[in-house]
Structure 1
Amino acid sequence: MGAGKTTVGQRLAARLGTGFRDTDADVEAAEGRSVQEIFVDDGEQRFRELERAAVAAALREHDGVLALGGGAPVDPATQELMAGHTVVLLRVDLAHAAERVGLGVSRPMLLGNVRGRMKQLIDERTPLYERLARHVVDTTGRDAEAVVDAVHALLEGGRRG
C-alpha cells in the first residue's frame, strides 16, 4: 500500500513494450463496484475469493506486468499461483506509505487508526512478501522513474535495487 504498484507497473510495462494489468481493477470491473464496496457489502473473505480468481485469470491470460493488491499474497492459494513467476516487491517505509496513501483515504484494510493499521499490515506482511519475491526494490524517497529504472535493471540482470 503506497509503494507505487500501479504507477510503477504501468511505466515498467510501457518501457518493456508489454501490457499492464491490475487485479484490483479486474475485480472491480467484474463486480461493477469498488473494492471498498465489496469489503463493506460482502466482507473480506468474499473479496479474497474474488481476488484469488482474478489473480489466477491474470496469470493464465496475461504475460505482461501484473500488479496484485497488497493482501493477495497473504492467501496461501494465491501464493501457490505465484510460484514460478517473477515477483518484485516494492518496499516502502511507513512514513512514505502514509504520505502517498494519505491518512484520510477510504481503504478497507485501514478502517480505524489509519497509521497504526498501516504499520501493523507492513509488519505482518513484509516477511511473507520478502519470501515470495525474487527481487526487492526500496521505493522510499525515490520517484516512480527511479523505481522503474531499478526494477528494469533487476529484470535485465543488473544488480541495482
Structure 2
Amino acid sequence: MGSGKSTVGTVLARALGLDRLDADELFESAHGPIPDYFARHGEPAFRQAEEDVIGQAISRAEPCVLSLGGGAVLSALTRSRLAGSHVVYLTVDEAVALRRVGGGEGRPVLAGDPGRTWRRILSEREALYREVSDWTVDTTDRSADELAQTIIRLVREAETVSPTPGAVHP
C-alpha cells in the first residue's frame, strides 16, 4: 500500500500505448466500494471475489498494464496466473507510504494503528511479492514518469533476451 501502483500504472500504460487496468477499480465496478464489501462479507469473500476479477483481467487477449491490490498475491491461483507476465514489485519507504495512503482512510486492512499494520502486512507478504516479481523498483522519492521509464527499460532489456507476451503488472 502506498507504493504508487495505480499512479505508476497509469503513466506506464500511457507511455506504452496500452490499456491500464486497476484491480481495485475493476472490483468496485463489479461489486461496489471495497470498504463496504469488506464490511458486509469479510476478508475471505473479498479475496475470492478479488481473485475472480484479477483472473478475468489477466485472461484478456490484449496486453495491458494491470495494477494489483497489495493483497492479490495472497491467492496461490493469482500468483500462478501471473507467471509468464512481466511483474514489477514496487517498494516504498514506510513514512512515504503512510503519507500517500492518508493514514489508512478507506483502507479496511489498515484500521487501528496504520504504521504497525503496514509493517505487519509487508512482513507477511513480502516473500510472495518477491516470488511473483521479475523486478523490484523502489518508488520512494521518484516521479511516476521516471519510474515508468525505468520499468520500460527493464522490460525492453528482458524482451531482447527472451520475448514474453502478456501484461505488465506493477
Task: Calculate the TM-score normalised by the size of structure 1.
Answer: 0.93
For residues 86-105 of structure 1, what are the structure 2 equivalents within 5 Å?
86-105=86-105
Q: Residue 13 of structure 2 contacts residue 64 of structure 2 at CA under 8 Å; is this kept in 1? A: yes
Q: Which residue of 1 aligns with 2:55?
A: 56
Q: Which residue of 2 aligns with 1:7?
A: 7
The number of residue pairs the alignment matches comes to 157
Amino acid at match of 1:136: T
For residues 10-159 of structure 1, what are the structure 2 equivalents within 5 Å?
10-31=10-31, 33-61=32-60, 62-157=62-157
Aligned CA-pair RMSD: 1.3
CA distance in 2, matches of 1:104, 1:46: 21
* Residue 118 of structure 1: how far off its partner (Å): 0.6
* Residue 82 of structure 1: how far off its partner (Å): 1.2
Structure 2 residues not aligned, in runs of 5+: 159-170
Deviations 1:45-88 (A, max 9, x none): 11111110011100112521001110001111211111221111
Deviations 1:14-43 (A, max 9, x none): 000110001111111011x21111110110
Task: Calculate the TM-score normalised by the size of structure 2.
Answer: 0.88
Percent of aligned pairs with the same amino acid = 37
Deviations 1:110-155 (A, max 9, x none): 0111111011111221121012101111111112112112111111
* Residue 106 of structure 1: how far off its partner (Å): 2.2
| Secondary structure of 1:70's aligned partner | coil
* Residue 104 of structure 1: how far off its partner (Å): 4.9
CA distance in 2, matches of 1:118, 1:70: 11
